[in-house]
Amino acid sequence: MTAATQTPLAKILAARIRERGPITFADYMAECLYHPEHGYYSRAESQRFADYYTSVDVHPIFGRLLARQLAEMWERCGRPAEFTIVEAGAGVGRLAAHVLDFAARALPGFYSALRYVAVEQSAARRATHALGLVTHIAAGRASSAAELPANIPVGCILSNELLDALPVHRILREHGELREIYVGLDGDRFCDQVGPLSSPALEEYFSGQGIVLLDGQQAEAGLAAAAWMEDAARRLSCGYLLTIDYGREARELCDARHLRGTLLAYTRHRAGEDFYAAPGEQDLTAHVNFTALDLAGRASGLARLGLVSQSHFLLALGRANEFADLYDEGQSEAERVRARLLLKTLIFPEGMGETFSVLIHSKGVADVSLTGLAPL
Ligand SMILES: C[S@@+](CC[C@H](N)C(=O)[O-])C[C@H]1O[C@@H](n2cnc3c(N)ncnc32)[C@H](O)[C@@H]1O
């Protein structure tokens, strides 16, 4: 198959490269995921289940335990009359619904203080989540937005699998020097094309983390994720920033086991490395570099409270009532057994438990002890 005929977006990108020359992989990835008409995240949400699930899709227990953590954050901030939770990359609002439904039912004091802002760049997904959250919106507890609020006086900015979906630059060390992998054309096919770094920030990205790549090693530079972190931190006056994603600290991401980086293309639950197959019709994602996020957050006034596995976070929050939040009223024993099995998917290392991590920062909060980070 050739670039010019593959997908509508392939034709657009091929024409641009022919006219203006190779583009950075970050530009290519941004178009593949966020092109307003042909981008992967501009497509119907139902198609996405064919490609991947997130923790939110497994069972509402994920959102319920997160709600308990958020309620505790509200308490640590002195139970303000208004507590803003901003969920960035809220998608169709499934996590928002799980948090809000549970808070309304089980945490009424917290719910009455809540201002939950579901932030999503895709207009189609905003329309879907506005419908799903209609009772909470009518109650004045929730709203929908395309961008982060300019100022969050007190609250928490959270994201689940947002930052792994932001564009990355692909970097290669060659003959002792950092070089960048651009997207060019070889006839009608997209191809890697190595050239000089497109920005000095790329060199600083690795040196700031104390990372020296081996000769021949590739790695991704998530400048967009770091910039998002800085921007979010600046908008928060007091409270927390909670990031859930799959990834690792820099030294692990760039060790000898990751000589080709961590970028993957997902189609129908299968991961592959053909990043140029079907532009706009497959998901592209790279592991999140928690060291880079932490550096960006601390440079913008955040304090790091901890980084734990998702398994740790959920176990620490669920153990107090032996995961009673798993169950709904009137459930049969079979439904309860099924709920317990789904919890295992979220917690077990071979499921999502050790792949995903939770990074929490704070700003201007005196008491920062949080149950989700407490030792097990
Ligand atoms: C991988 S999906 C995760 C969706 C959801 N959080 C979940 O767990 O199912 C990433 C979402 O973030 C959205 N997104 C990406 N960049 C964004 C930005 N800068 N602001 C708001 N939403 C964004 C995408 O449109 C997409 O819906």
Q: Which pLDDT belongs to residue 44? A: 64
CB of 284 closer than 6 angstroms to any ligand 1 atom: no
The pLDDT of 83-100, averaged and rounded, is: 97
Residue type, 157: I
Hey, which of 56, 59, 120 would you mutate to test ligand 1's pocket, going by the most ligand atoms within 8 Å of its Cβ? 120
CB of 87 closer than 6 angstroms to any ligand 1 atom: no
Range with lowest mean pLDDT among 39-48, 102-111, 134-143, 230-239: 39-48
- Quick: pLDDT tens for 48-69: 555 567 888 888 999 999 999 9
Question: Which of 328, 283, 297, 207 is CA-nearest to residue 40?
Answer: 283
CB-CB contact of 234 with 274 (8 Å): no
pLDDT of residue 89 exceeding 90: yes
CB of 56 closer than 6 angstroms to any ligand 1 atom: yes
Report yes or no on whether pTM surpasses 0.75: yes
- Domains of the chain are 45-166+222-373 (3.40.50.12710)
Going from the Cα of 195 to the center of ligand 1, the distance in angstroms, rounded, reads: 31
**DSSP assignment string, 225-278:** HHHHHHHHHHHBSSEEEEEEEEEE-HHHHTSTT-TB-S-EEEETTEEES-TTSS
Question: Which of 296, 151, 291, 154 is CA-nearest to residue 228?
Answer: 296
Going from the Cα of 333 to the center of ligand 1, the distance in angstroms, rounded, reads: 35
CB of 243 closer than 6 angstroms to any ligand 1 atom: no
The pLDDT of 99-109, averaged and rounded, is: 98
| Six-digit token string for 181 | 């992998």
Measure the CA dihedral 309/314/320/321, to 10°. -160
**DSSP assignment string, 215-237:** TT-EEEE-HHHHHHHHHHHHHBS
Q: Which pLDDT belongs to residue 194? A: 98
Q: Ligand 1 atom 9: the closest Cα is on which residue?
A: 54
Going from the Cα of 236 to the center of ligand 1, the distance in angstroms, rounded, reads: 19
Going from the Cα of 56 to the center of ligand 1, the distance in angstroms, rounded, reads: 13
Going from the Cα of 81 to the center of ligand 1, the distance in angstroms, rounded, reads: 29
| Six-digit token string for 134 | 């209609």
Q: Ligand 1 atom 19: the closest Cα is on which residue?
A: 121
- Quick: pLDDT tens for 197-214: 999 999 999 999 999 999
